């Protein structure tokens, strides 16, 4: 069971467009008959166009190389009251945990997906035992599916679901080991393909295992990345990029 404190980092960019101001035209001069009292002539005022601000929609499919702030992403944490250090700069998303048994989640909150493919390249820079993974079909009400690889060469799939505010329960779906999982300090690509009722787990673009997840009845949700520390710290999970694409 994990306790999760929610915090948000949300940036929205906007652009504006100006409508050209109508230019008045000249009309022929008319002769006004003489009158005991002069009649004043007034012009009908022309309304001034207003500037409209149209929010720039965040992309649905993308490759984020983390050269700018995390617009559209939400940071979640559990296991510790000490806030993790989360930075997106110099073409790297860094999740740093300095306390043991801490879990950090970075969820792309701007879009929801049914069938989707998420890939990421990461390095465990801290060298401590850790897990790093991907999430699909995340829902605050219905739960989510999580694929983790561990620095000891094992992997797992978990089904998570909120029990109460800040309290989640995790059900193990499967676990295994793979020689393709590299040791800490090595750059590695992992992928998660969520298609229909099947999850396919990838390492370096190769499927190592598939699992039927129909019993959880998750048809769609958000995607994200995750990292966690165990008894030793610090853990520094550095993501070079995250790619969200069609399956």
Q: Which tens digits make up the pLDDT trace of 152-170?
A: 999 999 999 888 766 778 8
Q: Cα separation of 243 and 63, whole Å?
A: 4
- Domain parsing of the chain, residue ranges: 2-8+60-245
Dmax of the chain from CA atoms? 105
Residue 24 token pair: 């008045």
Burial class (CB in 10 A: 0-12, 13-18, 19+), 149: buried
pTM of the full structure: 0.75
d(CA 105, CA 241): 15
Q: What dihedral angle (degrees, nearest 10) is formed by the CA atoms of 89, 91, 93, 98?
A: -70
DSSP state of 106: E
One-character DSSP codes across 199-236: EEEEETTEEEEEEE-GGG----EEEEEEEEE-SS--EE
Pairing of strands 116-124, 85-89: unpaired
Q: Tokens for 109?
A: 């909150």
- CATH class of this structure's domain 2-8+60-245: mainly beta
Can you give the pLDDT at residue 89?
84
Tokens of 20: 């050209």
With a cut of 70, list the residues of the chain below it in pLDDT.
Answer: 1-55, 165-166
CA-nearest of 140, 138, 137, 156 to 148 is 156
Q: How many other CB atoms sit within 10 Å of the CB of residue 50?
A: 8
**What is the predicted pLDDT for the residue at 55?**
61
Give the per-residue pLDDT at 15: 34
Q: Output the pLDDT for position 22.
A: 39
């Amino acid at each position: 069971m994990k306790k999760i404190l929610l915090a948000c980092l949300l940036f929205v960019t906007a652009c504006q467009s100006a409508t050209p101001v109508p230019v008045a035209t000249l009309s022929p001069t008319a002769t006004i008959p003489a009158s005991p009292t002069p009649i004043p002539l007034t012009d009908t005022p022309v309304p001034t166009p207003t500037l409209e601000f149209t929010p720039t929609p965040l992309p649905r499919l993308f490759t984020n190389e983390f050269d700018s702030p995390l617009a559209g992403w939400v940071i979640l944490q559990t296991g510790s009251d000490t806030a993790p250090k989360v930075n997106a700069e110099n073409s790297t998303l860094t999740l740093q945990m300095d306390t043991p048994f801490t879990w950090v989640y970075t969820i792309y909150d701007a879009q929801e997906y049914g069938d989707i493919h998420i890939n990421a390249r990461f390095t465990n820079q801290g060298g401590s035992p850790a897990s790093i993974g991907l999430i699909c079909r995340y829902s605050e009400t219905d739960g989510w599916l999580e694929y983790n690889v561990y620095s000891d060469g094992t992997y797992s799939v978990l089904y998570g679901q909120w029990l109460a505010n800040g309290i989640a329960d995790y059900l193990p779906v499967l676990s295994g080991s793979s020689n393709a999982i590299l040791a800490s300090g090595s750059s590695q690509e992992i992928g998660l393909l969520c298609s229909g009722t099947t999850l396919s787990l990838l390492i370096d673009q190769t499927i190592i295992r598939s699992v039927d997840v129909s019993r959880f009845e998750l048809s769609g949700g958000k995607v994200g990345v995750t990292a966690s520390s165990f008894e030793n710290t610090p853990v520094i999970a550095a993501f070079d990029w995250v790619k969200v694409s069609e399956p």
